[in-house]
Amino acid sequence: MEDMGCFLDKTDCVLTEYEDKLMRQLIQNINVVNAREIEVVFKPGITVEASLHKEDEMGEACV
């Protein structure tokens, strides 16, 4: 966890586009739980779950 904190302290916090190098330093892996959920595992072992959904033409989430 300290390594991630040190790295983020040295990194410009304004990200305007995807940076592959940064992602490779922070993320250990991404697991597909099922058709609607993924799990992002960061290098210090922190896990974040995210629900995937699709928006319809009106911008409302469809599940």
Distance CA 43, CA 27 (A): 5
pTM: 0.58
- Is the separation of the CB atoms in 10 and 23 below 8 Å? no
Segment (H or E) for 8: helix 2-10
Whether pLDDT at 56 is above 60: no
Q: How many domains does the chain have?
A: 1
Any idea what the Cα angle at residue 6 is, between residues 44 and 39, rounded to 5°?
30
Identify the CA nearest to 40 among candidates 30, 50, 32.
Answer: 30
Domain assignment of residue 28, given as a range: 2-62
Q: What is the pLDDT of residues 7-53, one digit of tens each?
A: 667 766 677 888 898 889 889 999 999 999 999 999 888 999 999 88
- The one-letter amino acid code at 13 reads C
